[in-house]
């Protein structure tokens, strides 16, 4: 299963979710690939100790910009491989706007060659609806939309779901929503109101599991570790373990 993890708005926990799901499944013996297609490269920086030495030619840039094979690297976690991102990926929209080939399918074309090697593939999407996002959606089977408390966070879901429908109609008819994940939950009125509105609007599409606001999640990334390695008994780790049991029955 190839799953895009997306959010139109930054700071919702999208990358944390990508890392936490990928590492949790890898630690349970599943062969996992995480593709970092966000030019901020935060997933890459956490999971690859030598990230600073990785050139654009050894990153997802080679596939998206030059149509080269995926630059797959072993991570610090057993069973987890990573295709790193690079800051030059931010030039993608400029270059692909004038491309004449099937520019939305560059990732899919190369991913199709290696996907049989993995049980799960996660794509950490950029916090914007761009050619990178279209490449991720075109290559994916399912979509997880990550949102957090707040009006603008909830409002951004509408545009993502519209983009998903456009991809279904034009590029990938089998692409479907896996679910909506509410993150950074806390006891505030804002958080309680946001989750209530989310469930009222999207019903069963919202996962039962809610990810709490948890400082261990932030501190883990500062230490270049996933939450399950850094604080395996933390509320953040427990929540993501609960999520993989809910979604993947693992």
Confidence at residue 98, expressed as pLDDT on a 0 to 100 scale: 76
Residues of the chain predicted below pLDDT 50: none
What count of other Cβ atoms lies within 10 Å of the Cβ of residue 22? Answer: 30
Confidence at residue 248, expressed as pLDDT on a 0 to 100 scale: 92
Confidence at residue 93, expressed as pLDDT on a 0 to 100 scale: 77
Confidence at residue 240, expressed as pLDDT on a 0 to 100 scale: 97
What count of other Cβ atoms lies within 10 Å of the Cβ of residue 162? Answer: 11
User: Which stretch of DSSP H or E encloses residue 143?
Assistant: strand 142-147
User: Which stretch of DSSP H or E encloses residue 206?
Assistant: strand 206-212
Largest Cα separation within the chain, whole Å, is 51
**Distances in whole angstroms, Cα of residue 204 to Cα of each of 45, 181, 208:** 34, 11, 8
Confidence at residue 95, expressed as pLDDT on a 0 to 100 scale: 79
Q: Map tokens 């996907």 to a residue.
A: 115
**pTM, 2 dp:** 0.95
Non-local CB neighbours of 45 within 8 Å, separated by 6+ positions:
51, 224
Q: Write phi, then psi, for 203 (nearest 5 degrees).
A: 55, -125
Confidence at residue 151, expressed as pLDDT on a 0 to 100 scale: 66
Confidence at residue 237, expressed as pLDDT on a 0 to 100 scale: 96
Confidence at residue 210, expressed as pLDDT on a 0 to 100 scale: 95
Confidence at residue 12, expressed as pLDDT on a 0 to 100 scale: 83
**Distances in whole angstroms, Cα of residue 28 to Cα of each of 9, 25, 38:** 31, 5, 26
Confidence at residue 231, expressed as pLDDT on a 0 to 100 scale: 95
């Amino acid at each position: 299963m190839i799953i895009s993890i997306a959010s139109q708005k930054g700071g919702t926990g999208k990358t944390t979710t990508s890392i936490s799901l990928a590492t949790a499944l890898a630690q349970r013996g599943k062969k996992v690939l995480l593709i970092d297609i966000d030019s901020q490269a935060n997933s890459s920086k956490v999971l690859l100790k030598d990230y600073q030495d990785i050139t654009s030619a050894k990153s997802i840039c080679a596939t998206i910009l030059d149509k080269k094979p995926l630059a797959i690297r072993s991570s610090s976690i057993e069973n987890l491989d990573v295709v790193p991102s690079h800051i030059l990926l931010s030039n993608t929209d400029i270059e692909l706007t004038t491309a004449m080939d099937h520019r939305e399918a560059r990732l899919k074309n190369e991913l199709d060659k290696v996907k049989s090697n993995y049980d799960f593939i996660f794509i950490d999407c950029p916090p914007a609806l761009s050619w990178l996002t279209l490449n991720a959606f075109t290559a994916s089977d399912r979509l997880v939309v990550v949102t957090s408390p707040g009006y603008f966070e909830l409002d951004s879901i509408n545009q993502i779901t519209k983009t998903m429908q456009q991809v279904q109609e034009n590029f990938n008819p089998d692409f479907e929503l896996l679910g909506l994940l509410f993150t950074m939950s806390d006891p505030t009125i804002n958080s309680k109101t946001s989750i209530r509105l989310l469930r009222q609007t999207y019903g069963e599409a919202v996962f039962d599991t809610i990810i709490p606001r948890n400082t261990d999640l932030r501190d883990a990334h500062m230490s270049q570790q996933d939450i399950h390695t850094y604080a395996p008994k933390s509320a953040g780790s427990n929540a993501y373990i609960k999520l993989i049991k809910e979604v993947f029955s693992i």
